Structure 1
Amino acid sequence: MTSIRDHLGVHASALQLREQRTEILASNIANAATPGFKARDLNFAAELEKAGGMGPMNTSHARHIPTGAGAGAGAGGLSYRVPTNPSLDGNTVELAVEQMEFSENALRYQTSLTLLNRKITGLMTAIKGE
């Protein structure tokens, strides 16, 4: 027997991750003039793989080398963005980059929401027997 979560698939997880990334990017934009602020971002693909149970392979010994998308990522999949043009005050936010990433993420959020809505509409149609 499959659950509603199984039917909705990756779209529900993608929507949650897109929302989390929106908050991170908004924080970067809000701190564009804060001296010493380090811009961060979420590795969306790696986090989506983890949410789907397809994360990096676990190691069983301290001398094993970690593999996969999660290797080297910070806590919660966050990492610091490396600036193209570093500022003199130590701030790594590049406003044009952050705005572009924010816009792209918003578009992809809307796409995930639309796909999720269609899945739910399909379920409702099946329940009603139409």
Structure 2
Amino acid sequence: MSAIANHLNLHAQALQLREKRNEVLASNIANAATPGFKARDIDFSSALSSAIGAGELKTTHAGHMPVGNGAGDGMLYRKPTTTALDGNTVEIAVEQMEFAQNTLRYQSSLEFLNRKIRGLKGAIRGE
């Protein structure tokens, strides 16, 4: 990986994960009235660590015991405070708040990435 790619990797990975998380949260909201639907979310910190190669310990031999929670994609079920009678675990207020917060963090990550790119451009130009 080039030096520039290494410099931008964390922020690029964060943007991709934030986008994926928004899709998951939007799916939860869309299925708020679906009987038996289980709300999902992404463990953002674990998924980002895994994406940039700074994840949990990995086994190196077939005899080693695996570590971690086994959620390789970072997807988890949300633990609801109340479950609907039809088994649906979507709490619309929680999902909307998480979606709004994730959108703000996406915009912040995008702005931070743009500033890094502008800084690199300036360095290349000798400014």
| TM-score, scaled relative to structure 1 | 0.88
Deviations for 1:50-98, whole angstroms, at most 9, x for unmatched residues? Answer: 111111111334562514xxx242x522111121100001111000110
Question: For this pair of structures, how many residues does the alignment match?
Answer: 126
Aligned equivalent of 1:11: 11
Matches within 5 A, 1:20-31: 20-31=20-31
Q: Say if 2:34 and 2:88, in contact at 8 Å, map to a contact too.
A: yes
SS in 1 for 2:73: helix
Distance 1:40 1:62, change over 3 A: farther
Amino acid at match of 1:5: A
SS in 2 for 1:66: coil
1:125 maps to 2:108: no
> Unpaired runs of 5+ in structure 1?
none
CA distance in 2, matches of 1:125, 1:63: 49
> Unpaired runs of 5+ in structure 2?
none
Aligned equivalent of 1:38: 38
CA RMSD of aligned residues (A): 1.7
Aligned equivalent of 1:66: 67
